[in-house]
Amino acid sequence: MSTTDPLELVILLYDGAIESLEKAAVAAAGGQIALKLRFADKAIAIIDELLNSLNPEVGGEVAENLMNLYLYMMREITLANARNDADRMQQVSSLLRQLRESWVSIRGTA
């Protein structure tokens, strides 16, 4: 049985959210509503998982800031989904990429 370290799991969650959002954006641009809904919902579910993994008592201000950012992202995805706004989905994907790179840097120093 293999175990994945917690930082690697976080990075994998980011990868899944980014991939789902990019697919949702392509589907939105192509008018594929059902596909867009499926991928946007998947991205929200992954971000919700990241949100639920936070512990403000341990993580302090960083955890609180991430919590607010994750909530913002979920709102933006919901709005993008409702408005069929591929650009807004790409903006959230860009934020996720930046955060992912931060986690990769942390993993490299751990």
Q: What is the pLDDT of residue 110?
A: 62
Report the distance separating Cα 48 and Cα 44, nearest Å.
6
* Structural domains present in the chain: 6-102 (1.20.120.340)
CB of 77 within 8 A of CB of 40? yes
Residue with structure tokens 């840097």?
Answer: 105
pTM of the model: 0.92
Does the pLDDT of residue 101 top 50, yes or no? yes
